[in-house]
Structure 1
Amino acid sequence: MQTALKINFQGSESSEGLRQLIEEQVATLERYHGRLTACHVMVKAPGHHHRSGKHFEVDIHLSLPGNLTVDVDHSPRQDGRFDDPRFAVTDAFRRAQRQIEDRIRRQRGDVKNLHERVERALERPES
């Protein structure tokens, strides 16, 4: 892994198992999307934050070449799967990957913006 990785735990002791899972997730992102310039992951234990009650929260801040950043700060709703910290970590990295893929598609011009879709719809002949 080439990325400068910073992992913090709020409301709980550091977990070697979660650290390893986070490192694996970062390595996967790098494999698919190239080098990340920085990655900061914050794992918030249940009870440490007022929004999620008994659920874990995972916030991710990624920096990519070209001054691109990706932020994931998902607050789970009433979803019992977030009681499991491994699920919370995996879900946050899935969201990060989706954001990176969306940015790459936009840079390539693969994603149509709303105005283009509206214009195309207005240009269609009426039947």
Structure 2
Amino acid sequence: MSVTELKPRVGDSEKITINLGVVDLGQIDLLVQEGFYANRTDLIRTAIRNQLTVHSDVVRQTIIRKSFVLGLQTYSRRELEDRQRAGERLQIQVVGLASIAPDVTPELAAAVIDSVTVLGAFHASSAVKAALAGRIH
């Protein structure tokens, strides 16, 4: 089984909040002031990417072992309707972004989707999320 990594488009990001000690924050500000990074966010993104690179083999092996999709995965109404006609059920397992099209009804989603496991972000209408509430892990 191969792993396909999809590159996110600009704007395909999620905001996170972290708490740092004042000493760590001061050191970050010092590196920014000295020109090593453009701003705090630049340093934090760089640090996170470096750690992901360090652990990339573990991430890749786990994705393969657990049959996750890596990157951006969109589920259209047509795809879900096709699966429903074929009598197929869907287990969504994504590391990245899983998105259910806005025109998917809660009834269709509930009829086709058995489970949703997303490490990252899950975008769907509030009605679809409510219909799948017991199936989202």
TM range (shorter): under 0.3
TM-score normalised by L of structure 1: 0.25
Give me the TM-score of the superposition, normalised by structure 2: 0.24
